[in-house]
Structure 1
Amino acid sequence: MDASLLKPPSRRRWDSAVPPTLRPLVRAYLLGYGFAVAPRLATLLLQHLARYRRNKQATTARDTQRGEPFLDALQRILLGGLDWRRFPTFCAVLVGGTTLLEPPLTAAFDHYAKNIPDIARRRLSRWFASFIAAWLSLRLVQSKKTPGFTDVTPGPESGSGSQSNGAPQTVHYAGRTLDLTSFAVTRALDIIVGELWHRRKLRRQAAGKWTPLDSTLGTFAHPAVFALSSGLVMWTWFYDPARLPRSYNKWIGSAAAVDARLITALQRCRDGTLLYGADTGAAPLLTSMCADYAWPLEWGDPAVSVPFPCEMVHMGCGPSCERHALARFARSFRWALSTYLPLSLLLVARKRNLPAVRRALLSAARSSAFLGAFITLFYYGVCLARTRVGPRLLGTSHASRQRIDGGYCVGAGCVLCGWSVLLESAPRRKDMALFVAPRAMAALLPRRYGLDKQWRETLAFAASMGVVLTCVRENPGRLGGLLGGVMGVVFRD
C-alpha cells in the first residue's frame, strides 16, 4: 500500500483561496487590524467591567469611558480600524506594495543592470520595492489630520490697530508618525550594525584574532543600548514628560510610585525656583509632604534644611537608603509579578504540561526581578548621589547640594537603572533594547514640527524600512524576536 495514503490529510490554510501574490497583503491587513483594534477593545471591556463592579445599577450599556453607549463604543472601535488612513491599510500598502513591486523592478534591474552581480541585483530590487511601498504607506497615514497636530491661529491684524479682523487660519503640523519612523530607523541600524559586526567576527575568527574583549563587546552591546535608552527616557520623564507619549508617562508613573511633590521639588532645584539656604517661597511644597508623613516641618523648608533629608525620598521607609532599596525591590517585584504571571500562564494554558508551566513561572519571576531591580537601581542611584557619593566628590556647601539635587542625583539613577536588563536572557535583552531605543530617539526629536520638513522623516522611514524588509526576505534570522516572527508569518509562501 502506498505510504502516502496513510498520512492524514493536510490542513487547508485559511488564505488558500487568496491568490499567492495577494496573500502577504491580506495577512498584513488583518494583523494590522488586530494590533490596532484589540488593545482598544480590551481597554473598553476592562473599563466597562470595572464600572459594573463599582456600581451595578449605574453601570449599564450607557456607561463607557466616553459616556457613550457600550455598543456604540464597540462599533466605533471596530469601524475605526477600517479607516483607509489608519494602521491596517498602512500595513497592507507596505507589505503588499513590496511584494507587488518587486517582480517588475527585478525585471528592470535584470535588463538594465546586467553588469551587477545577481545577488546585488536581487537585493537592490527588493530594497527599491520596499522603499517605494514604505514611502507611499507612510504618506497615507500622514494625510490624516488630527486635532493634536492642528492649531487654529487668529487671522492677520488690521493695519490701524492690534485687533485681528481676518478669518482664523488653520495650521497643520507634522510629527504624528514619529514613533513609526523611530522604530524603523532603530531596527535598520540594528540590522546594519549587526551584519557588519558578524562579518568582522568571521574575518577575525578566520585569522585567529578574535579576543575575549571582542566577545565581551558583543555580549554587552544590547544591554548598553538598553541602559542608554532607558536612562534617556527616565531623564525625559522626570524633566520633560511632554516629549513622551501619554501612555508611556502614565505607565512609568505607576511603576515609580513616587509622591509628585518630590518630583516637583527636584525639578525646582534644577530650574532655580527652589534654592537651598534662601527663602524663595518654595517651602509649602515639601512642608505639606512633611505634614502628611508626620515628619518635622523644618525638613521641607529649603532655607533651613540643606538639603532636605533623604528619608523624604524613601517615603516612609526610614532613614536607611539600603533598607529603602530592599523595600522598593520587594514592592516592585510583587507589583510586576501580578502583571507578568497571569500573562505567562495564559500563554502556556493550551500546553498543559509541567515543564511549560515551570518555564512560565521562571520567565515571570525573571521579568519581575528585572523590573524590580530597574526601579530599585533608579532610587538607589538618587540616594547614592545625595548622601553616599555626591557630598564626598562635590562637597557639602549650599551650591554643591544645589547641583546634586538639581540634576546629578536624577542622572545617577538614570545611569544605573538600565543595567538591570542583565537579569534577563540574551534574546530578551535584544528585544527590550530595540523596544526602548525608538522611545529614546523620539524623546530627542520635537513631537511636532513644520509640514515643510516632513519629507525628511518620510525619507528616513522609507530608507530604513527598505533595509528591514530586505533583511526579512534575505536573512530573516537577523531580525529575530516578535517582529521577526510576525514578518515570517506575513511573507511565508
Structure 2
Amino acid sequence: MASTSSLRWWSHYVAEQLHTFSDDHPLQIALRTYSLALSLSLSPVLAGFLAKPRRSGAAQLLRALRRELGFTGFASAFTVAIAGGAALRSLLAYLEKEQQGILPLRAKTFLSRLKDVHKTFSANALSAYIAIALLQHRRSRPSTPSTHRSSGITPIQRSSPTIDLTLLVLVRALDSVVRSVLFSHSTTQDVLSSGELKRAENRRRTLSARLDAMVFWASSARIMWCFFYEPQRLPRSYNTWIMTLANIDPRILGALRAIREGRWSYVRRIAVPSDLLSSLSRDLGYPESWGSVTRLPAFGGPAANGAWKTLAVSNRPNLGGIPCELVHGGIGGGSCAASAALRSGKAFAEAMLIYLPVHVLPILLYRPRKLTRVHNIMNTLLSVTRSATFLSSFVSSIWVAVCLTRTLLLARLFPWISHDFWDGPHGCAFLGTLVCGGSIWIEQGRRRGEMALYVLPKAIRACLPEAFLRSGLRVQLLERLVFVASLATLLTKFVHDTSSLRGLPRWALTFVMNGSNAGFWKKKRQDTSDSPPPRTPYTI
C-alpha cells in the first residue's frame, strides 16, 4: 500500500511540475513527440499481434517493443529531431541575449546577424542529423557471418532500410516548398479588392488541384507498371495488397512478364514455362489447349477464325491472343463488360470496408457529436462512397483499358499487328497504367492532394536503380544529406511559414509543437462542421 501511495504521489507531483512548463517548452514537445511517434511505430505491430497465433505473435511483439523502446528506435530518433531542434533554438535565443559573457563577442555578433529562419534551419538540421544517424545505426547492424552464408546475402547487397522514411520526408518537404513559392500571398494583394482576392484564391486552388492530379497520375502509372513487370521494386506488402484488390491470377502476370522478356511469343511459338497458361485454363475448367501458345493465333483477321474453330472458342472472331476467359480469370466469363462490372463492384465493396473506418474513426475520437446530426451522417457516408468509387474506378479502368486494347477496339482496327505487341509491355497493360490515374478526379480536392503525396514516395523509390540502393556507404551518406535537408526544411517551414504545410505534417506538427491547446486544434474541437483531421489514404 505504501509503495502504491508513493507511486501515486510521485506521478501527481511530476504531472504538476509538467504543467508549470509552457506548451511549446522543449520538454513538453519531447513528451508529445515521443508518445505520437511510439503509437505510430507500434500500431502495425499490435495489429499483426492480434492477427497471428498467440505464441508467434507474442514473440514478434516483444522484439518490436525492445526495438522501438530503445534509444535507436523510431520514437526516440524523432523526439531527438523535433524536440532537439526546439531545445537548440531556445539555447541560441538565450545565448544571444545573455549578458554574462558565455559566448565570445564575435560569436554573439555572428548570431545576431543571422536571420531567424537560418537559426531555425541550422538547429533543426543538427538534430535531424543525429536522428537519422540513430535510425541507421539501429537498422544497419550486421548480422552474424553464418547468417550471411546461409542466406547468400551480404550486408552491402541490402537496400537501405530507412530509404522509405527518407523519401516520405523529402516529398513532404518539397510539397511545402512548392506551395510556399506558388501559393504564397504577395504583398500587392493588400490593395486588391475582395473580388480579385477571391479570383486569385480560386486560381491557386485550381492550380493546386491540377498539380496534385498530375502527380498522382504519374506516380500511379509508375507503380502499376512495376506491379505488372517489376514487382521487386515495390514493398512486398504493398504488392500483395494491389494483387488482392485487382483480383488477378499470378499466372496472367507471369505471362505478361514472359512476353516482355521474350520467353513467351505467339509468333515464335515459344513459352517458358510451357504450361504457364495451360494450367490456368485447366483450373478454370477450360481445355488446356486454350493456354497453349502453339495453338493460339498470333494475328487477327479471318485467318485466326480457323484456329478458334478448332479450339471451340466462339467469342474472338478476327482476333488473336489469349482467350478472354483466361485473361478475366473466370470472372464474367468471356464478356469484357461483365468482367469489368463485377470487378468494379467487388473493389467498391472492399473499398467501403477500407474507407468507412478511415472516415468515421477520427470523428468518433475528436467530434462524436457530429454523428448525432442526420446531415453530418449523410455527408460522411457520401465521402466514404466517393472514396470507394474512386478506388473501384481505379481498378476497373485498368481492365477496361486492357479489353479495349486487345479485344474490343485496337486489335480489331489493326489485325496485322501481332499479339506479342498487344499483350506486350507497350500494349494493353501499358495503356491500363496510363488511364487508371485519371480516377483521382473523383476524389475531393483535399484528399486528392493527400493521395498524391502518399503514392509519390513509392513511385520515386520504384525509379531508383537497385544497384544504387544496394551501394552501401555511398547511398547511406547521400540519404543522410537528403533526410537532414528535408526534415530541417519541414520543421523550419512550420515555424516560419505554417500555411505552406498541409495534411498530416501540419496536423502532427501542430500537436507536437504547440500542444492540444493550439488554435488549430481548438478550432477543430469547437467547429463541428469542419472535416476531421487529415487521414493517411490507403490506396494504390
Q: Give TM-score scaled by structure 2 length.
A: 0.74
From 401, 425, 431, give the equivalent of 1:407.
425
| CA distance 1:201–1:235, shift in 2 (3 Å) | farther
**Pair 1:304 & 2:307 matched:** no
| CA distance 1:215–1:265, shift in 2 (3 Å) | same
| CA distance 1:73–1:170, shift in 2 (3 Å) | closer
Tell me how far apart the structure 2 counterparts of residues 487 and 217 of structure 1 sit (CA, whole Å). Answer: 26
- In structure 1, the residue matched to 2:120 is 126
Offset, 1:260: 0.6
Question: Secondary structure in 2 aligned to 1:64?
Answer: helix
Superposition map of 1:238-257 within 5 A: 238-257=228-247
From 245, 264, 281, give the equivalent of 1:290.
281
From 464, 477, 487, give the equivalent of 2:509.
487
Would you say the 8 A contact 1:28–1:490 is kept in 2? yes
Would you say the 8 A contact 1:151–1:172 is kept in 2? no
Would you say the 8 A contact 2:271–2:293 is kept in 1? no
- In structure 2, the residue matched to 1:111 is 109
From 386, 395, 411, give the equivalent of 1:391.
411
- In structure 2, the residue matched to 1:142 is 136
Tell me how far apart the structure 1 counterparts of residues 186 and 389 of structure 2 sit (CA, whole Å). Answer: 33
The superposition leaves residues 12-31 of structure 1 with CA deviations (integer Å, 9 ceiling, x where unpaired) of 99952667221111211111
**Pair 1:420 & 2:439 matched:** yes
- In structure 1, the residue matched to 2:523 is none
Q: Structure 1 stretch 287-296 or stretch 412-421: which is displaced more? A: 287-296
| Letter in structure 2 aligned against 1:336 | A
| CA distance 1:345–1:100, shift in 2 (3 Å) | closer
Offset, 1:46: 2.9
Tell me how far apart the structure 1 counterparts of residues 415 and 187 of structure 2 sit (CA, whole Å). Answer: 53
| Letter in structure 2 aligned against 1:407 | P
- In structure 1, the residue matched to 2:389 is 369
**Pair 1:468 & 2:513 matched:** no
* Fraction of identical pairs, as percent: 30
Tell me how far apart the structure 1 counterparts of residues 420 and 354 of structure 2 sit (CA, whole Å). Answer: 38
Question: Secondary structure in 1 aligned to 2:72?
Answer: coil
- In structure 2, the residue matched to 1:162 is none
Superposition map of 1:182-331 within 5 A: 182-199=167-184, 216-282=206-272, 283-305=274-296, 306=298, 307-316=321-330, 317-331=332-346
The superposition leaves residues 216-270 of structure 1 with CA deviations (integer Å, 9 ceiling, x where unpaired) of 5433110110111111111112211112112211211111111111000011010
| CA distance 1:245–1:174, shift in 2 (3 Å) | closer
From 61, 64, 73, give the equivalent of 1:86.
73
Question: Secondary structure in 1 aligned to 2:390?
Answer: helix
- In structure 2, the residue matched to 1:41 is 46
Would you say the 8 A contact 1:277–1:304 is kept in 2? no
Question: Secondary structure in 2 aligned to 1:189?
Answer: helix
Offset, 1:318: 2.9
From 2, 16, 19, give the equivalent of 2:19.
16
| Letter in structure 2 aligned against 1:31 | L
- In structure 1, the residue matched to 2:310 is none
Offset, 1:315: 2.1
Would you say the 8 A contact 1:431–1:481 is kept in 2? yes
Offset, 1:74: 4.2
Tell me how far apart the structure 1 counterparts of residues 154 and 434 of structure 2 sit (CA, whole Å). Answer: 45
Q: List gaps (5 residues or longer) in structure 1.
A: 1-11, 49-60, 156-167
- In structure 1, the residue matched to 2:33 is 28
Would you say the 8 A contact 2:217–2:438 is kept in 1? yes
| Letter in structure 1 aligned against 2:242 | I
Q: Give TM-score scaled by structure 1 length.
A: 0.81
Would you say the 8 A contact 1:476–1:488 is kept in 2? no
From 53, 56, 73, give the equivalent of 1:64.
56
Tell me how far apart the structure 1 counterparts of residues 142 and 462 of structure 2 sit (CA, whole Å). Answer: 17
- In structure 2, the residue matched to 1:178 is 163
Tell me how far apart the structure 2 counterparts of residues 36 and 211 of structure 1 sit (CA, whole Å). Answer: 38
Would you say the 8 A contact 1:229–1:440 is kept in 2? yes
Offset, 1:115: 5.6
Offset, 1:492: 0.0
Offset, 1:203: 6.9
Tell me how far apart the structure 1 counterparts of residues 143 and 399 of structure 2 sit (CA, whole Å). Answer: 36
Would you say the 8 A contact 2:45–2:61 is kept in 1? no
| Letter in structure 2 aligned against 1:438 | P
Offset, 1:82: 0.6
| CA distance 1:359–1:347, shift in 2 (3 Å) | farther
| Letter in structure 1 aligned against 2:480 | T
Would you say the 8 A contact 1:201–1:210 is kept in 2? no
| CA distance 1:309–1:14, shift in 2 (3 Å) | farther
Would you say the 8 A contact 1:230–1:414 is kept in 2? yes
Q: How large is the RMSD of aligned CA atoms in angstroms?
A: 3.3
